[in-house]
Amino acid sequence: VVVFPYTSTTGSSGVLHQAGSYGRAVVLPKIGDFAEVITEEGYDGEFFNPADARTLADAIARILDSDER
């Protein structure tokens, strides 16, 4: 699991592309173009609200609790 605990973004992340290309599940904030990148590239990901730490924890838990990820 690769977690991106960003509260803002200026564009796409190179680390995101690396993680996705290695088949790693990612946890991303609901900001910027992250949702588009996940969809277009077919990466496995969960999103969280950057203003709410609980949603970050929940997104991580969803990935860790899944046998397929």
Domain coordinates in residue numbering, the chain: 2-64
pLDDT at 59 (0 to 100): 98
Judge whether residue 1 has pLDDT over 90.
Answer: yes
Residue 29 dihedral angles phi and psi, to the nearest 5°: -75, 155
| Segments of the chain assigned E as strands | 2-3, 26-29, 45-48
Q: How confident is the model at residue 9 (pLDDT cuts 50, 70, 90)?
A: confident
CB 31 within 8 A of CB 8: yes
- pLDDT tens digits along 14-56: 899 999 999 999 999 999 888 888 889 999 999 999 999 999 9
Chain-centroid distance of CA 60 in Å reads 9
What is the per-residue pLDDT for 61? Answer: 98
